[in-house]
């Protein structure tokens, strides 16, 4: 049943509100847990009961922390790390070139620094070496080190890890595992095929953090005090949000406490990056995912691959400032490249058709550092799993992004196992692949077939789910801060979406070339400022610009707008519909 009678909004969606059971739970939370109704409605949508409300609103890491030894090979991996510390052995860290890999590498570098043990950092070049361990790099590292720790990679790297026989190799990863494990001393991965899957939602940094918890336990049993791990939570939070890991269970507590650590501004790299990005308020998951994360990623995408990891691990504020400025410039360059590729990819995908189980585009010269971002944009625009591939010669390197409920990583891994891809893998929401030009069409056809079996492409634009109703006068800064207690918000834990019924558009003007600034009112004197991003040239902008004084329903997220020391409530408009 539609919410507010909206069966087809400006963006073509039906609005869906809380069901009867959720409404009943909202009432119970309001009366028994004494919560404001808007906050109660958000908790009810997440299935939180009155008895569980306090624990959800104030999650404690120690209450949610699992026994790290519940993961296979964890005890063995931590013991080898402890042995390397006690014997002061030579340690190398081989990390992925994204935020998760950089943060995971920095976690280990920080931890080892407390023992005055330097680690060799190796991040492969995206273009020259590609993702994950490769034979020449692993062979060279093994010749000069006693222990190699692969973070955010390695689970499928059988040949490369076999080339490192001269050293012990430990893998700390989260990508989907294959039927067999690589030749390593230990492979700790909650997405191994023989794992329970209880911690499958962790990113690599979360796995590394658990490994350090176990290492500290083993040190304690040996009468040695390990480093304080609390100050490392800012890195775990950054990686968790930037890698689009679901903010549920342990992840939610890690990010919540990691944001508090980050707010203390103790890590030179994150301080410098926040300053160059002009973040002038307490960090939120939005800052991690959309401001800091892309800048850390920029080095691996189009610049020096290890720049992000070095920034996150440095103790020198001057070095941090220089690297942050370099990453900020690279991010600006990345955005320009992305804009060109996105326009071409969308045009190609539209020609091919946007109603299939997978939306894809491929062409020569598309920078491999931006294909993942462009795939994410195609997914957002079409509500379909999307793949974008850039070719150099006959070899194409691509990246895919999925929608909720569709396991893209498993599908791509199967296509690779069947020989249609040179290699491929990842996790449910994101994956990478390498394909020969001659196999492109058959590979995409097979991928579409596998994704269709999971239900991809079965419908049009996703229904817009509404958490609660709210009038402009009730949307105060204090109320928004109450709603933020249900955070942090992100993957699998979206920020509350509210609907404001029967409002009037008092003011609308363009901001830049694509956005609209709007003032909404209830007709009784209460008003709220709003922003509609990327709406100026679409159906949402047409409705906002041409209401003719008629009332409309508006849906979106609430946020606190901070400007020149002043705060005010603001709505981020996502959709609108004519009021009947």
Over the stretch 425-458, which tens digit does the pLDDT of each residue have?
888 889 999 999 999 999 999 999 999 999 887 7
- Sequence-distant (6+) residues with CB within 8 A of 351 are none
Q: Which pLDDT value is given to residue 460?
A: 57
Q: Which pLDDT value is given to residue 21?
A: 95
Q: How confident is the model at residue 491 (pLDDT cuts 50, 70, 90)?
A: confident
Contact 274, 292 (CB under 8 A): yes
Identify the residue whose tokens are 């003719």. Answer: 548
Contact 363, 390 (CB under 8 A): yes
Using the CB atoms, write b or e for 306-318: b if 16+ within 10 Å: bbbbbbbbbeeee
- Cβ atoms within 10 Å of 547's Cβ, excluding its own: 17
Residue 555 β-bridge partners: 499, 575
pTM of the model: 0.89
Q: Which pLDDT value is given to residue 523?
A: 87
CATH fold for the domain made of 1-16+466-580: OB fold (Dihydrolipoamide Acetyltransferase, E2P) (2.40.50)
Q: CATH top-level class for 64-260?
A: alpha beta
- According to DSSP, residue 292 is labeled I
Domain boundaries, the chain: 1-16+466-580, 18-58, 64-260, 346-453
Higher-pLDDT residue of 513, 230: 230
Q: How confident is the model at residue 286 (pLDDT cuts 50, 70, 90)?
A: very high
Q: Which pLDDT value is given to residue 456?
A: 86
Mean pLDDT value of segment 38-43: 95
Pairing of strands 186-188, 15-16: unpaired
The correct answer on CATH 3.40.50.1820 for the domain covering 346-453 is no
Over the stretch 288-311, which tens digit does the pLDDT of each residue have?
999 999 999 998 888 789 999 999
Q: How confident is the model at residue 98 (pLDDT cuts 50, 70, 90)?
A: very high
Over the stretch 60-87, which tens digit does the pLDDT of each residue have?
999 999 999 999 999 999 999 999 999 9
Q: How confident is the model at residue 461 (pLDDT cuts 50, 70, 90)?
A: low
Q: Which pLDDT value is given to residue 76?
A: 98
Q: Which pLDDT value is given to residue 459?
A: 60
Tokens of 100: 């998760």
Over the stretch 252-270, which tens digit does the pLDDT of each residue have?
999 999 999 999 999 999 9
Average pLDDT, the chain: 94
Q: Which pLDDT value is given to residue 566?
A: 86
Over the stretch 497-511, which tens digit does the pLDDT of each residue have?
999 999 999 999 999
C-alpha 73: how far from chain center:
26
pLDDT value at 240 more than 70: yes
C-alpha pair distances (Å), 380 with each of 120, 454, 502, 525, 537: 39, 19, 28, 36, 17
Q: Which pLDDT value is given to residue 268?
A: 98
66, burial (CB in 10 Å: exposed 0-12, middle 13-18, buried 19+): middle
C-alpha pair distances (Å), 198 with each of 153, 190, 268: 20, 8, 35
Percent of the chain's residues with pLDDT above 90: 87
C-alpha 346/C-alpha 206 separation (Å) is 34
């Amino acid at each position: 049943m539609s919410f507010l009678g909206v069966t087809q909004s400006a963006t073509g969606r039906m609005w869906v509100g809380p069901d009867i059971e959720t409404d009943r739970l909202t009432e119970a939370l309001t009366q028994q847990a004494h919560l404001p109704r808007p906050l109660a409605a958000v908790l009810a949508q997440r299935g939180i009961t009155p008895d569980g409300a306090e624990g959800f609103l104030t999650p404690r890491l120690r209450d949610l922390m699992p026994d790290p030894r519940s993961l296979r090979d964890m005890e063995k991996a931590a013991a080898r790390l402890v042995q390397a510390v006690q014997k002061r052995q030579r340690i190398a860290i081989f990390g992925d070139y994204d935020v998760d890999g950089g943060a995971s590498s920095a976690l280990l570098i920080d931890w080892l620094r407390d023992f005055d043990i330097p680690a060799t950092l190796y991040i492969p070049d995206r273009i020259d070496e590609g993702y994950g361990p490769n034979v020449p790099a692993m062979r060279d590292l093994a010749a000069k080190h006693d222990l190699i720790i692969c973070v955010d990679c390695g689970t499928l790297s059988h040949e490369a890890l076999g080339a490192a026989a001269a050293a012990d190799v430990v893998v700390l990863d989260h990508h989907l595992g294959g039927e067999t494990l690589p030749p390593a001393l230990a492979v700790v991965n909650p997405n191994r095929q023989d794992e329970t899957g209880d911690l499958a939602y962790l990113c690599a940094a979360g796995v590394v953090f658990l490994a350090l918890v176990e290492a500290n336990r083993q040190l304690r049993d040996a009468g040695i005090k390990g480093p304080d791990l609390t100050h490392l939570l800012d890195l775990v939070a950054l990686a968790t949000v930037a890698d689009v890991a679901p903010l549920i269970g342990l992840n939610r507590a890690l990010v919540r406490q990691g944001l508090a650590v980050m707010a203390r501004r103790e890590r030179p790299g994150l301080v410098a990056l926040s300053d160059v990005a002009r973040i002038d308020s307490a960090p939120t998951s939005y800052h991690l995912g959309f401001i800091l994360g892309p800048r850390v990623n920029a080095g691996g995408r189009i610049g020096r691959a290890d720049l992000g990891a070095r920034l996150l691990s440095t103790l020198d504020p001057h070095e941090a400032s220089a690297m942050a400025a370099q990453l900020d410039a690279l991010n600006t360059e990345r955005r320009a490249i992305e804009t060109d590729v996105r326009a071409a990819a969308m045009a190609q995908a539209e020609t091919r058709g946007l109603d299939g189980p997978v939306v894809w585009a491929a062409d020569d010269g598309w920078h491999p550092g931006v294909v993942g971002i462009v795939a994410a944009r195609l997914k957002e625009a079409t509500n379909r799993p999307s793949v974008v591939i850039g070719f150099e010669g006959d070899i194409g390197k691509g990246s895919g992004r999925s929608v909720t409920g569709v396991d893209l990583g498993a599908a791509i891994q199967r296509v690779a196992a069947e020989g249609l891809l040179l290699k491929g893998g990842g996790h449910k929401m994101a994956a990478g692949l390498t394909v020969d030009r001659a196999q492109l069409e058959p590979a995409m056809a097979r991928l579409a077939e596998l994704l269709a079996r999971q239900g991809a492409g079965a419908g049009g634009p996703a229904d817009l789910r509404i958490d609660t109703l709210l009038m402009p006068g009730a949307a105060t800064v204090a109320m928004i801060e109450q709603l933020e207690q249900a955070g942090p918000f992100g993957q699998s834990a979206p920020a509350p979406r509210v609907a404001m019924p029967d409002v009037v558009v008092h003011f609308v003007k363009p901001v830049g070339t694509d956005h609209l600034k709007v003032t909404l009112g209830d007709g009784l004197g209460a008003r709220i400022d709003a922003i509609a991003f990327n709406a100026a040239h679409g159906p949402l902008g047409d409705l906002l610009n041409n209401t003719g004084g008629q009332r409309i329903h508006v849906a979106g997220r609430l946020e606190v707008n901070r400007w020149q020391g002043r705060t005010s409530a603001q709505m981020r408009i996502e959709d609108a519909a004519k009021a009947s």
